Chain A
Amino acid sequence: MKQLVKISLCNMVFELEQDGFAALSAYLDQAKSRLQGSPDRQEVVADLERSIAEKLARITASQSSPISRENVVSILTEVGAVEVGEIERLVASAEPAPKQRQLYRIKEQQQIAGVCAGLAVYSDLDVNVVRCIFLALTGVTGGLFALVYIAMMFIVPVAVPLKSAPGQTRKSTVVSPGFPAMGAPPPVNA
């Protein structure tokens, strides 16, 4: 006769064989560790426990013997290991990113004050294209458009360079966290 363990799951009491209990504990531990950092962790674990309790209750109702390891394994196989999408995992571990893309000046690429470099990243255009447009507009407006540049120098904030981790020398500019990397300027001293 195997040793029995009494457990309480979702306010219901079940009697499990020792090795069945071990399997269940291992499953729940793995679920918790896979959901580490997820804002939904508690909720998902509670959902799983409720579902497992419901299945255990069904077995208890249909057999007089205590719940065996095989019973537990068949339940856990049905429930399946916790799968969190790669992206979800990344998002969960990252700081909440601002939703709006924002215009910054990029000091690292500046000719004057980094306005064009910032606009280039913001609009997904090459920085030289933006500069040409600026120059053209300045020419067409007889120099008046240069005032726009000067105004933007004061209005648009400077991008905060990404803090490099210890041992990392790569220097790049955060334009906006969560902003597609395609638009970001190439690392300066990669």
Chain B
Amino acid sequence: MIDANKYSFVRKGLLEFVVLQTVSVKMVYVAEILDHLRNTEFATQEGTLYPLLSKLCREGMLAYEWHESDAGPPRKYYKLTAAGRKHLAEFREYWIELTELIERLGKPK
């Protein structure tokens, strides 16, 4: 059994890309992102997600639109920008490189 708590630092760093990946599929608002991640290793909360989303918007990776909601205040629907798409693609490439590197380092010469 893997003790996932030991690797929370890894997940913390990856959350940004998991969020970008989630938003890349379709326009979503926060509750949908939370639902999407709920039963995964990346389950998170609004207290963590909002600061991250604001940062990604500020960096130009994400943009949002306001949509009216019948249940209360309007909601922000997030979408990936061209820069965000590029950033995500770059990261995925890097991720593959990293995992390959780790495999390679584990092999005897």
Contact = CB atoms under 8 A, between A and B. Distances in A.
Contact of A35 (B51, B75, B76): B51
A80 B54 CA distance: 17
Contacts of B50: 44, 47-48, 51, 82
B71 A84 contact: no
A26 interface: no
Interface string A25-47: 00000010001001110011001
B45 A40 contact: no
Interface residues of B, number: 21
A73 to B, nearest CB: 14
Interface in B15-57: 30, 44-48, 50-55
A48 B50 CA distance: 7
Contact of B45 (A38, A54, A79, A85): A79
B5 interface: no
A181 B51 CA distance: 27
B73 A11 contact: yes
B107 interface: no
Interface of B: 12, 30, 44-48, 50-55, 58, 69, 71-76
Interface of A: 10-12, 31, 35, 38-40, 43-44, 47-48, 50-51, 53-54, 57-58, 78-85, 88
